[in-house]
Structures are given as structure tokens and as C-alpha cells.
Structure 1
Amino acid sequence: MAEQGKKVGILGGTFNPPHAGHLLIAEGVRDACGLDEIRFMPNAVPPHKAGTGDADAPQRLRMTELAIGTNPDFAIERIEIDAGGISYTSRTMDILKEKEPETEFYFIIGGDSVDHLGQWYDIDGLMKKVSFIGVGRPGSRGITQYPVRMVDVPQIDLSSTEIRRRLSEGRSVRYLLPDPVISFIRKEGLYGSGKTES
């Protein structure tokens, strides 16, 4: 059970795999907005990315746990993974607010998501349930008619798609991913990286 009045940032995503960019965003927002905790929330099957990649939900969850393991201000939110199926942020926030009525929730999104916020499911209802924090991303404008607090955090032009491509080509991903995540990917043979026993 969360403490009363706790400020919690939710960073949702596929985390396929979780990378240095995700960690930079989470820590930057936590610091800039004075949040008590950032929860990484892996999606089960996000509507716009269903069927992408070759890491299943338990593997993405485990990689995210490994990525955040050394930061006491980071935690995992399993709600969408445990529910399975397609995830809609509005429904997820209903459940979280019912479970933790005293917690102030903040939903963290990249500038590309800010640009398309009007297309989100039940966006008007969602705006009444959670405050949005936006972070700039290379190539996005970060402009919307909805109230979003834009936060300046260090930007790196990095995507999970690019990392999967590098892994499939046998190229280095050192410093792009936390070392425990790299070890897990190699052990599981994900993204065409080839399975290893080490």
C-alpha cells in the first residue's frame, strides 16, 4: 500500500528492451518534479505495437526489473502485464487510483506521444485522473492542446528498435543497455543475438 500523499510517476512502455534513454527520462523527471517514486509499467499488448519484437511479456518484465535494480527510487508496476490483453491508460489509472486513493499519479510521456495525445483512448477522462509530464524527444515538437508539464531532461536519440537492430547484427550495445539486461538478452538469445550460456 502506498504512503498517503505520495507522488508517483508512471513510465509506461513496451521496454523491448529497456534502455539508457528510459532510465535518463525517469531520473530526470523524478529529480525535476520532486517525485517520490518512478514506476516502470511494461505494457501487455499496447494497441499500436501488438506483435512487435520477440521478447514476451515475462521477459520484458524481467529485463525492466534488471534495468532498475540499483535505483531505490525506481519500482515496477505490474498491473498491465498481470491483466494481459490490450492496455488502455485510462482503464489502468482507474484501477491504480482505486487501489491507492491517496497517491498523486503523474504519467510520463515522450514528446512524440505529446504530439498525438488527442488520439489517446478516453483522453478527456484521463486528463481528470492523472497529471501528464512530457519530455522532449529528438524529432518531436512536444506541442498539444492538453495540459502537459514539459520537463527538460538530457536527450539521447535512442530507441528499442535501434537496439534490437544492433543486436540482430551482432553489434555492441554496451552503455546503451544496463549490463544485467545485456547479460539476460544474451542468455535468452533475444532479438537474434544468439543464445549463450554465460
Structure 2
Amino acid sequence: MIILYGGSFDPIHIGHMIVAHEVYQSFRPDRFILMPARQNPLKVKRTVATNQERLDMLKLAAAVLEFGEVSDMEINRTGDSYTYDTVLELSRYDEDIAVIIGTDQYVQLNRWHRIDELKKLCRFIVVNRETEENQVTAPDMSFHIPRIDISATEIRRRLTEGATVKFWLHPEIEAFVRKEQIYEKEKSH
């Protein structure tokens, strides 16, 4: 089994890491892949951190988690990052693929690129986000964790203003972000 956990990860925060840990411990997949999206087609805003900075933060997170591999597959593609293309590529290695998403994404799957074909290639592990319960239909799976509503947007705002993000970011990732001043200064991509 391959579990894919993708997203902007701008930055990867404690909420992301708890989801990764809990899903990994529950499923024990052969491969757990952390993959930053080049550009989410459903988001207008571009990432603040560079692609390399997001990869570096994910590598730090994987080391702390003590599992997982970081993939640059989507970052190396041009254009929007479509989960369909990624899962199609991964299906060459394993037919049992699950993609972690939040409730907020699950309710808008109808907007996803080639969703009907994607559903034939994988199933979704739907983590309760901004809700206590998920309404999920098989073969997709509802996955419940205690709610921790941490926002990457709020983390970036706090860092820009010099405020604390203690307990929002793992200390190693916070040290990296502060050393590189990723969010304290304007970035041009």
C-alpha cells in the first residue's frame, strides 16, 4: 500500500505532522509519501516558501516522524499539480493507493481534475477538518483525529509579525524557517 499525503505545506505544521503520524500508525503502509504541490489548481495564491524550502521542511518533518519519504514529483512538473497525474504515476508501483485529504477537500471533489478516473485509481482517507464528523462513502475512509485547527496562513502571519509559533511548528522546522527568514521577508518566485 502507498499512502500519499500532498499539499502546499507552506509550512508543514504540527497539525500536518499529527495527521501523518496517526494515519501511518493506523495503516502501516509500504510507502508513505509526503509531496508538496507545485501549484494547487483550486488555490489562486502561490506559496510563499520556495519549492526547495518546502522540500527541506518536509525532509525535516520526515526525520522527526521517523518515517516517510519526500517526493519532488509534483514540483518537477510544469503547471498545476493534479492528483490524478500523480496517482497515475504511482499506480505503476502499487495498485493499492490511498490519498490523505481533509473534509474541506472531500466536499469539493467534484471540482478535482478527472475525478471519476482518479476514484478508480485510489481511495481517500478523509481526515476530519473543521468538523467533528465526516460523511464519507466507501471505498473512501473517514479518519478521525482530535481537532487541532492550526492554519498555515495564521502561522505565516505570526512569523511576519514576529509573534510566537511555539507548539504550532515543530522546533526544528521553526528553527529552519526563522534561520532562512522564509516568512519574515517578501519572497519573489
With structure 1 as the length reference, what TM-score do the two structures score?
Answer: 0.85
Q: Does 1:106 align with 2:98?
A: yes
Q: CA deviation at 1:145?
A: 5.9
Dislocated runs of 4+, deviation >3 Å: 139-147
Q: CA deviation at 1:34?
A: 3.6
Q: CA deviation at 1:69?
A: 1.1
- How far apart, in 1, do the equivalents of 2:132 and 2:114 lie? 23
- How far apart, in 2, do the equivalents of 1:157 and 1:51 lie? 20
Q: CA deviation at 1:35?
A: 2.5
Q: CA deviation at 1:103?
A: 5.2
Aligned to 2:74: 80
Aligned to 1:93: 87
Residue-by-residue CA offset, 1:21-69 (whole Å, 9 max, x unaligned): 1011111112223423421110011112354342111111111111221
Describe how 1:1-198 pairs up with structure 2 within 5 A. 7-98=1-92, 100=93, 102=94, 104-139=96-131, 142-143=134-135, 147-192=139-184
Q: CA deviation at 1:154?
A: 2.5
With structure 2 as the length reference, what TM-score do the two structures score?
Answer: 0.89
- How far apart, in 1, do the equivalents of 2:184 and 2:67 lie? 32
Instruction: Give the gaps of 5 or more residues in structure 2.
Output: none
Q: CA deviation at 1:150?
A: 0.2
Percent identical residues: 34
Instruction: Give the gaps of 5 or more residues in structure 1.
Output: 1-6
CA RMSD of aligned residues (A): 2.0
SS at match of 2:48: coil
